[in-house]
Amino acid sequence: MDLGLNGKLIIVTGGGAGIGRAITSCCLAEGARVVVLSRINPDVTSFFSELRNTNAACELIELELDDFAACVRAVREIEQQHGDVFALINNAGVNDGVSLTSGDLASFEKSLRNNLTHAFVLAQACLPSLKRSRGTIINISSKVAITGQGGTSAYAAAKGGLLALTREWAAELLPFGIRVNAVLPAEVMTPLYRSWLLGLGDPEATLARIEHTIPFEHRMTSPAEIASAVVFLLSPIQSGHTTAQHVIVDGGYVHLDRALTAPSRLE
């Protein structure tokens, strides 16, 4: 299936680890050129070491996404070196546990800067390019924006904000032929998720309990499955009339009846 992404220039925030790494890899497999905006950690370093060995059309710009001036400079640098941006994928974010009961205003605002505000800054910086390329924006939200989780007010607000911005930008950018969509993961096995599990008293039991609650096949979603949905939505050929959508890739976790995961249904 031709997705029409060959040679297209795509920016992926947090594109060196976890879901972002899978998105970057999937875009590269379709012949796209990718620039990753990310801080450096061992996972990112390892990924880009692998990419160098394959001569992949991928570049890493190291920055902190809450440094908004650096974000704008990065976009201008990308445009000068590589031409117009076709797609912006706002993927970076972290569930930092800033809650209503234990958080404060400063930590709440900091979380929004880390999880939401840079998406606006980057979208605005990329807008001239996106208009010329009739490109697309994809926001990676979370099931927390729909279901709630408890103990994570700031992250829920940020991810809910991304859903609202998806619809708002899709409406505002209609005259320019720019499509905007969101993808919502639920329980996805990423390095961060695995680290969280390993910090618990009984990681295997916790994982089994979580997988039990996922209706379809009672397993975690893979990063590659999220990436496949993202890349399909990027396609101007196969997804050219899809905009303002919230696509949930979660094995039925959000929408299906919890009775489906009752013990009697599994025996």
Query: How many structural domains compose the chain?
Result: 1
Domain residues for the domain of 20 are 9-188+222-252
How much is the pLDDT for 195?
A: 85
Q: pTM of the entire structure?
A: 0.95
How much is the pLDDT for 240?
A: 97
Q: Name the residue among 237, 230, 244 with its Cα closest to residue 27.
A: 230
Q: Is 218 left (phi over 0), alpha (psi -120 to 50) or beta?
A: left
SS3 content of the chain, % helix, strand, coil (to 5): 50, 15, 35
Q: Classify residue 172: in a domain, yes or no.
A: yes
- Which residue blocks in 62-202 are alpha helix, DSSP H? 68-82, 105-112, 118-133, 144-147, 153-172, 191-198
Is 253 a catalytic site residue?
no
Q: Name the residue among 148, 241, 230 with its Cα closest to residue 182.
A: 230
- One-letter amino acid for residue 234 of the chain: L
Instruction: Please give the order of strands across the beta sheet that includes 33-38.
Output: 58-62, 33-38, 9-13, 87-90, 136-140, 179-185, 246-249
CA-to-CA distance for 235 and 250, rounded, in angstroms?
21
| 108-126 per-position pLDDT tens digit | 999 999 999 999 999 999 9
Low-confidence ranges of the chain (pLDDT < 70): 263-267
Q: Classify residue 61: in a domain, yes or no.
A: yes
Q: Where are the beta strands (DSSP E) in the chain?
A: 9-13, 33-38, 58-62, 87-90, 136-140, 179-185, 246-249
Q: Classify residue 205: in a domain, yes or no.
A: no
- 127: tokens are 């807008």
Looking up residue 73, the CATH number of its domain turns out to be 3.40.50.720
Q: Classify residue 214: in a domain, yes or no.
A: no
Q: Classify residue 266: in a domain, yes or no.
A: no
CA-to-CA distance for 142 and 156, rounded, in angstroms?
8
Beta bridge partners of 181: 138
The residue from 155, 169, 193, 253 that is catalytic is: 155
Q: Classify residue 47: in a domain, yes or no.
A: yes
How much is the pLDDT for 267?
A: 52
| 144-189 per-position pLDDT tens digit | 999 999 999 999 999 999 999 999 999 999 999 999 999 999 999 9
